[in-house]
Amino acid sequence: MTPFGLLDWSDLVFAGFLRDPSVNEAVASAAGAFAVLGAVAALVVLTVKGWWRPLWSGWLTSLDHKRIGIMYVVLGLVMFARAIAEASVMRAQQMAALGEPGFLSAEHFGQLFTTHGTIMIFFVAMPLLTGIINFVMPLQIGARDVTFPLVNAVSLALTAAGAALLMVSLVVGRFSTGGWSGYPPFTGAAFSPGEGVDYWIWAVTLSSLGSTLTGMNFAVTIYKERCPGMHLFRMPLFTWTALCTSILMIFAMAPLTVATLMLALDRYAGFHFFTAGSGGDMMNYANLFWLFGHPEVYILILPAFGVWSEVFSTFSGKTLYGYTSLVIATMCIAVLSFTVWLHHFFTMGQAASINAVFGVATMLIGVPTGVKVYDWLLTMVRGRIRFRVPLILGCYFLATFVIGGLTGVLLANPTVDYGTHNSLFLVAHFHNMLIPGLLFGMFAAIHFWFPKAFGFRLHEGLGVLSAFLWMGGFLCAFMPLYALGLMGGMRRMAQLPEGPFGPLLAVALLGALMIAAGFAVFVLQLWWSVRHRDRLAVPHGDPWDGRTLEWALPAPPPEWNFAVLPEVDRRDPFDAAKLAGIAYALPDRYEDIEMPANSAVAPALGAAAFAVAFGLVWHIWWLVAFGLAAALAAIVARSFVTETTRTIPAAHVRQVTEGWRSIARVATPCPRRAEATGANRGRARPQQ
């Protein structure tokens, strides 16, 4: 064996094309080339612009929760681009494969749906929601940072290492074909030898370790770092959903870690957890995976519910309707999420009575979710509604999410599920929940809080255009799948039968392309807005007439967030302060502020984790040992560092705060009808 384990030149994706110059291999090579070119282009830009130093000292080693949050979102968006491209290629293949083989091999198609699912869950949805909670939650509770800033950076580094592993798999070797849920025995060593499943195992394991740490960090932050007066029932609803999601992460990620590590032991060391024969128990994998997997669904959707709550309230100019019921509903969903995992495998041989129990539990989740929908609707009733991009997406979410929820109640019936299991009907259902619910929620959040993070709004017109492309694209891409599923179309098929499937598949392909176009417009919108940021600037920090504490800060907020920790005595404190005319008051006195100092430990751990994972995939044992030793050394060395904070002098805090407040106080307040124009500089005229 060479020093590089199983790795060989022939594992390069380009070698595959040289061996067999088919369209199938050309697509794989093009994807690999795209990844390589993207990486090279990023390196060139960083070097030419001289951005290495600011990237290192301002971002990669930063422990500022806001910057870590932004890095999470960037990671999610980059991976989203890949996942959309994969979805479009899959639909194109199915379109081309009506009655003929199409241009992709079944094995290549298997890799595509596996990476698409894995990326969308672990490297798009999770980074987006983690990033947004990271940025927003400490601001909403009046804190200066999360409780464990270094752990926060380590979580990001582990997640990024997992994402890097997925990107490397485009160029070196093949990925798993076992789907995002990776069921054995198919993913065991007997049926899936080679590196593919190992890539999947380690990418997912790194991500789940990162999420476990994130969950603990957020939960402790929300319990322990709230500013004076911020009782639990005064927290903004987004923070409530962040709390529930964090609790779910703490409890639900461990089963996934155990399941993937057991699968790894089966594959690497010949254990018999999930093998066929020798006392292996494949059903145990299904149970463990979905014991994680179902709470995961709510880890994903709850923060989006939080975003929607903020959006409906802010853009209706009204306090949230039914706050307490929304909190209780959120908690109910969090608890119930642990009682329904079995509905993912109704057809796998339990007694009918067990299926019935889990079916009923599943339907129950519709109740608190329905409460939420009514609360959001009633928030808008008699509000002064402004159709900014987040609210446009929000209204669409209300309509489509209900459809998805109803199909979910259908699927919750085990007898119905026997007919629809693993069909395109199911694919339509969960995309119907996750795209309008989660993904649009995340994009609404990006539009909503972008001005807070960077000090300028995103271009409104382009935002509306991308929103409509997404909304239309979603309908075209997934509504036909309901019909196709009922017609007998199964999921994960490289080739569907000829006949009546063609027209509906064509619509679905069109929808996928529209979603891709919507993302392109979104990127264009980012680019255009950065170029014209002076025109869109909102330095006073309150572009949407916000209600919660984060809007009381400059945009972007200073590193320390609050010059003096605020005291609150009610919900929506900033809205109340504006109405009372006491917003933007200057603090009486300033104090030195201690903030976490930069640390290279997180990037070091991320690099070590990547080395370990890559070494494990290719059996490069010295690299594994080296990575583990480096990680241990980094952790121990860090515990000997005595200067982990740096002090920001009161005089500097005073200068920055008063510099901003003196301008913000005299700024002309912008009426809501001019919200989307250049007149909006971030000082809102209060609406009585």
Partner 1 sequence: MSDVTATRHPGLNLNHTDRETHDRAESVMFGFWVFMMSDLVLFAVLFATYAAQSVHGIAGGPAPAEIFELKSTLWQTLVLLTSSFTMGLAALALKYRDDRRRLVLWLLVTAALGGTFLYLEGADWLRMARDHGAVPQVSGFLSIFYALTGTHFLHVSAAMVWIGVMLVQIGRFGLKPEVKLRVMRLAILWHLLDVVWIGIFTFVFLFGVVQ
- Per rule CB under 8 A, is residue 177 in the interface with partner 1? no
- Per rule CB under 8 A, is residue 268 in the interface with partner 1? no
Q: Which is nearer to partner 1, 246 or 316 (CB)?
A: 246
Nearest to 415 by CA among 350, 484, 347, 351: 347
| Helices 323-336 and 237-269, packing angle to 10 deg | 10
Q: Which is nearer to partner 1, 290 or 660 (CB)?
A: 290
- Per rule CB under 8 A, is residue 229 in the interface with partner 1? no
- Per rule CB under 8 A, is residue 159 in the interface with partner 1? no
- Per rule CB under 8 A, is residue 167 in the interface with partner 1? no
- Per rule CB under 8 A, is residue 112 in the interface with partner 1? no
DSSP string, 237-270: HHHHHHHHHHHHHHHHHHHHHHHHHHHHHHHHH-
- Per rule CB under 8 A, is residue 126 in the interface with partner 1? no
- DSSP for residue 534: T
Scanning residues 642 to 671, which ones bind partner 1 (CB under 8 A)? Answer: 642
- Per rule CB under 8 A, is residue 484 in the interface with partner 1? no
The SS3 assignment for 549 reads helix
Q: Which is nearer to partner 1, 224 or 532 (CB)?
A: 224
- Per rule CB under 8 A, is residue 235 in the interface with partner 1? no
Question: Which amino acid makes up residue 371?
Answer: V
Q: How far is the CB of 201 from partner 1 (least distance, A)?
A: 15
Q: Which is nearer to partner 1, 221 or 313 (CB)?
A: 221
CA 363 to chain centre: 26
Q: Which is nearer to partner 1, 353 or 642 (CB)?
A: 642
Q: Which is nearer to partner 1, 44 or 641 (CB)?
A: 641
Q: Is the dihedral of CA 441, 446, 451, 457 positive or negative?
A: negative
Scanning residues 186 to 225, which ones bind partner 1 (CB under 8 A)? Answer: 212, 215-217, 219-220, 223-225
**Which stretch in 281-289, 312-320, 356-364, 374-382 sits in contact with partner 1 by CB under 8 A?**
281-289
Q: How far is the CB of 642 from partner 1 (least distance, A)?
A: 7
- Per rule CB under 8 A, is residue 279 in the interface with partner 1? yes
Q: How far is the CB of 634 from partner 1 (least distance, A)?
A: 13
Contact (Cβ atoms closer than 8 angstroms) between residue 545 and residue 672: yes
> Given candidates 62, 114, 130, 147, which one binds partner 1 under the rule CB under 8 A?
147
Contact (Cβ atoms closer than 8 angstroms) between residue 137 and residue 445: no
The SS3 assignment for 600 reads coil
- Per rule CB under 8 A, is residue 148 in the interface with partner 1? yes
**Which stretch in 166-174, 257-265, 300-308, 404-412 sits in contact with partner 1 by CB under 8 A?**
257-265
User: In whole angstroms, what is the distance from residue 451 CA to residue 94 CA?
Assistant: 41
- Per rule CB under 8 A, is residue 349 in the interface with partner 1? no
**Which stretch in 195-203, 252-260, 308-316, 453-461 sits in contact with partner 1 by CB under 8 A?**
252-260
**Which stretch in 57-65, 234-242, 514-522, 639-647 sits in contact with partner 1 by CB under 8 A?**
639-647
Residue with tokens 């100019």: 317
- Per rule CB under 8 A, is residue 155 in the interface with partner 1? no
> Given candidates 9, 100, 640, 643, which one binds partner 1 under the rule CB under 8 A?
640
- Per rule CB under 8 A, is residue 258 in the interface with partner 1? yes
CA 83 to chain centre: 13
- Per rule CB under 8 A, is residue 350 in the interface with partner 1? no
User: In whole angstroms, what is the distance from residue 97 CA to residue 101 CA?
Assistant: 5
> Given candidates 2, 324, 639, 688, which one binds partner 1 under the rule CB under 8 A?
639
Contact (Cβ atoms closer than 8 angstroms) between residue 306 and residue 331: no
- Per rule CB under 8 A, is residue 3 in the interface with partner 1? no
Number of helices (H), then strands (E), belonging to the chain: the values are: 22, 2
Q: Which is nearer to partner 1, 48 or 636 (CB)?
A: 636
Q: Which is nearer to partner 1, 217 or 241 (CB)?
A: 217
Question: Which amino acid makes up residue 613?
Answer: A
Q: How far is the CB of 221 from partner 1 (least distance, A)?
A: 8
| Helices 352-380 and 323-336, packing angle to 10 deg | 160
DSSP string, 84-152: HHHHHHHHHHHHHTSSS--SS-HHHHHHHHHHHHHIIIIIIIHHHHHHHHHHHHHHHTT-SS-S-HHHH
Q: Which is nearer to partner 1, 258 or 526 (CB)?
A: 258
- Per rule CB under 8 A, is residue 250 in the interface with partner 1? yes
Q: Which is nearer to partner 1, 512 or 549 (CB)?
A: 549
- Per rule CB under 8 A, is residue 278 in the interface with partner 1? yes
Q: How far is the CB of 329 from partner 1 (least distance, A)?
A: 24
- Per rule CB under 8 A, is residue 270 in the interface with partner 1? yes
- Per rule CB under 8 A, is residue 511 in the interface with partner 1? no
Q: How far is the CB of 272 from partner 1 (least distance, A)?
A: 4
User: In whole angstroms, what is the distance from residue 219 CA to residue 400 CA?
Assistant: 31
User: First and final CA of the chain: distance in angstroms?
Assistant: 76
> Given candidates 14, 186, 251, 430, which one binds partner 1 under the rule CB under 8 A?
251
Write a three-state SS string for 409-434. HHHCCHHHHHHHCCEHHHHHHHHHHH
x/- mask, partner 1, residues 288-327, rule CB under 8 A, reads x--x------------------------------------
- DSSP for residue 319: P
Nearest to 333 by CA among 360, 307, 359, 372: 372
Count of residues in contact with partner 1, rule CB under 8 A: 40
Cα-flanking dihedrals φ and ψ of residue 409, to 5°? -65, -35
CA 291 to chain centre: 20
- Per rule CB under 8 A, is residue 269 in the interface with partner 1? yes
User: In whole angstroms, what is the distance from residue 444 CA to residue 88 CA?
Assistant: 23
Q: How far is the CB of 154 from partner 1 (least distance, A)?
A: 13
Q: Which helix (H) or strand (E) holds 645?
A: strand 645-648
Give the tokens for residue 420. Answer: 């629809």
Angle among Cα 49, 55, 59 to the nearest 5 degrees reads 155
Contact (Cβ atoms closer than 8 angstroms) between residue 208 and residue 182: no
User: In whole angstroms, what is the distance from residue 216 CA to residue 151 CA?
Assistant: 10
> Given candidates 271, 468, 528, 560, which one binds partner 1 under the rule CB under 8 A?
271
Q: How far is the CB of 151 from partner 1 (least distance, A)?
A: 8
Please give the residue ranges that form the binding site for partner 1 (CB under 8 A).
147-148, 212, 215-217, 219-220, 223-225, 250-251, 253-255, 257-258, 262, 265-266, 269-273, 275, 277-281, 284, 288, 291, 632, 636, 639-640, 642
